[in-house]
Amino acid sequence: MVRSVSWNYLGYVLEFLSGLLLTAYVVRRIPVHDFGIYLLANSVAAFIYLLEFGMGNILVPLYVSTLARKGIAEVSRLASTVFVVLFAAGVGGAAIVSLAGLITPGLLRMPHAETALAVRVLIVMSIATALALPQVALEQLCQAFHRFDRVNQVQIAAVVVRVGLTVAVLMAGKGILALAAVQVGVVVLRLAGLWALAPAAISGLSLRLCFDRELLSKAIHMSKWAFADDISHRIALNTEPVVLAALGSFEQVALFGVGSKLPAHLYQFAARGMSVLIPTLSKHHAEGDTVQLRSTFSSVFRVSLTGLAPLSIFAMICAPSLIRIWAGEAYMGAAPVLAWLLVSALSMAVALPSDMVLYSHGLIPKAARFSILQTAGKIGVAVALASRYGAIGVAAGVAIWHWSINLFVYLPAACRVAEMSPGELWRSTLIRKDRQVAGDRRANLIQGVAFIICAALLASGMVVLRATAMFVACVLVSLVYAGIWAACTALPIWRRARLEAAAAP
C-alpha cells in the first residue's frame, strides 16, 4: 500500500506542478477571451464522461472478485468488454457533443466571428475526451492488481509530452485550437501506453477487442447507484463555466477557470491520500467494530480539517499575490474567485471522510441522493448569481451551499453510521483529550497558536510586502505550519495506529 501511495503522489505532484507552470505560461500567451472559449469547450466536452456509467467506482472490486472466482481469463474478457463499450460510448458521445456544438454558440449569444473557432475547438476536445473514456477500464485493471506504478509511469510520460508540445505550439504562435490538438495527442499516448503495458505488468492477462453481454450486464448492475452519483459529480464539476458563458461572458469563464485551478488541486491532493482508507472502513463495518470505525472516522476528519483549513486560509490571505505572480495583471479579478473556491474545496475535502463512511457501509443510494441534492443546489445558485455578480458571485454562492450540505447533511449521516453525535466528532477533532497520545492538550495549544501567529504574519505582510515577497512568505509559512501540524497531529495518530496494530492478536 505504501508503494502504491508513493507512486500515486509522485505522479500527482508532477502533474500538479506541470499544470501550474503550464497554466501560468498559457494565460500569458493566449488572450483572456480565447482562454475563456477554450475552458468552456473543455467543460462541455467533459460531459462525455457521463457515459462512463459509474464504472470507475466499481471496476476494481469487480476485477478482484472475478479473478478470485473465475481466474485471469475471465478478467481479460471483462476488461476487453468494458474497454470496447467505453470506447463506443465515447465515440457516440463525441458525435453528439460535436453536433450540439453547432447550436451551442447561438444559445450562448456568441458573435458570428467566434462561432467557427469555438465549434472547432469543441470538436477536437470532444475527440480527446472520447479517447480518454476507455482508459478507465485499463487504469482500474492495473489498480486492481496493485500496479499503480505502471499507471503513474504512463501518466508521467504523458505529462512530459504535454509540457513539450504545449510550449512548442505556443512558441510557434498557435492558438487554442492547437492546444486542443495537443490534448488529443497526449490522450492517444496514454491510451496506447496502458494498452501495451497492462498485459506485460499482469501475468496471464490478454487484451483483445471483444464483447460479452453477460459480463457487461453484471458490471452495469453493480454500477447503478454509483452511476447516479457519478452523473451528479460530473455535472457539478462543469456547471459553473457553462452557466457563466450563458449568462455572463467568456472573460468571467476565464476568471473562474484560473481561480479554480489551485482549489481543484487541493481537493485532489486530499482525495489521493484519504482514498486508501476505504478498505479499512469497510473492514470495520464487516467485523461490526463500531469502536474502531469511530476512531478511524474521527482521526481522518481531524487530519483533513486541521491540516487543510489553515493552508486554505493562508492561500486566501495571499490570493491577490498568488494570482498576480501566477497569471498576471490581466487575471487579478480571479483573486476573490480563488478565495471563495478555496472555501468550497475545503468543504469538499472535509466531506470526504463522511462520504467514505457511507460508501464503505454500502449506503451508496444515500450518498448518491446527497450528491444529487448538492449538485441541484449548486446549479440553482450559479444560475441565480451569474448574470448579476459574475464569477465572484457564483464562487461565493457555491461555497456557502457546499458547507451547508456538508454540515447539515453529509456529516450527520456519517455520524449516525458511526454511532456518534456531530458534537462528539467536533470535540474529538478540536479538543483532543487522549493522554496516551504524545501531544494532547499542549499539542492542540501549540498548533492553534502557530496557526494564529502564521495567519497574523501573512495578514500584516499584505500591507508592507510586494507580491513576490508575499508569495515566498505564504510558501514558508505554509511549510512551517505543516511541520508543526505533522508533529502535533499526524505523527501521534500514526504512532497510536502502530501501537494498536502491534497489540492486536
pLDDT tens per residue across span 218-244: 666 666 666 666 677 777 777 788 788
Phi then psi for 333, rounded to 5 degrees? -65, -10
pLDDT tens per residue across span 443-500: 777 778 888 888 888 888 877 888 888 888 888 988 888 888 878 776 776 666 666 5
pLDDT greater than 70 at residue 282: no
**What amino acid occupies position 202?**
I
Of residues 196 and 113, more confidence is placed in 196
pLDDT score at 354: 86
Q: Compute the distance between CA of residue 251 and CA of residue 91 in angstroms, rounded to an integer.
A: 31
Instruction: Give 346-393 as a 3 state SS string.
Output: HHHHHHHHHHHHHHHCCCHHHHHHHHHHHHHHHHHHHHHHHHHHHHHH
Q: How many CA atoms lie within 13 A of 239 on its CB side?
A: 23
Confidence of residue 439 (pLDDT cuts 50, 70, 90): very low
pLDDT score at 110: 54
pLDDT score at 199: 87
What integer is the mean pLDDT of 378-386? 89
Q: Is 101 helix (H, G, I), strand (E, B) or coil?
A: helix
- Cα dihedral 282, 283, 287, 290 sign: negative
Instruction: Provide the 10 A C-beta neighbour count for residue 23.
Output: 17
pLDDT greater than 90 at residue 9: no
Confidence of residue 437 (pLDDT cuts 50, 70, 90): very low
pLDDT score at 107: 47
The rounded percent of the chain whose pLDDT value lies above 70 is 84
pLDDT greater than 50 at residue 170: yes
pLDDT tens per residue across span 230-281: 677 777 777 788 788 878 787 888 888 888 888 888 888 777 767 656 656 6
Lowest mean pLDDT among 98-102, 286-290, 292-296, 465-469: 286-290
What integer is the mean pLDDT of 40-49? 83
pLDDT score at 5: 65
Q: Compute the distance between CA of residue 222 and CA of residue 295 in angstroms, rounded to an integer.
A: 30
CB distance 405 to 393 below 8 Å: no
pTM score > 0.75 for this model? no
Q: Compute the distance between CA of residue 412 and CA of residue 400 in angstroms, rounded to an integer.
A: 18
**What amino acid occupies position 405?**
I
What integer is the mean pLDDT of 149-178? 88
Mean pLDDT of the chain: 81
Instruction: Provide the 10 A C-beta neighbour count for residue 387.
Output: 14
With both helix axes pointing from N to C terminus, report the angle between 135-144 and 72-101 in degrees, rounded to the nearest 10: 150
Q: Compute the distance between CA of residue 243 and CA of residue 236 in angstroms, rounded to an integer.
A: 11
pLDDT tens per residue across span 12-34: 778 878 887 888 888 888 888 88
Collect all residues with Cβ–Cβ distance below 8 Å to 471 and sequence separation of at least 6: 318, 321, 322, 325
Q: Compute the distance between CA of residue 190 and CA of residue 492 in angstroms, rounded to an integer.
A: 40
The rounded percent of the chain whose pLDDT value lies above 90 is 12
Confidence of residue 432 (pLDDT cuts 50, 70, 90): low
pLDDT tens per residue across span 331-365: 888 899 999 999 998 888 888 888 888 877 777 77
- Cα dihedral 428, 366, 241, 136 sign: positive
Confidence of residue 182 (pLDDT cuts 50, 70, 90): very high
pLDDT score at 337: 92
CB distance 233 to 351 below 8 Å: no
Of residues 71 and 102, more confidence is placed in 71
Spans of all domains in the chain: 1-222, 224-431, 432-503
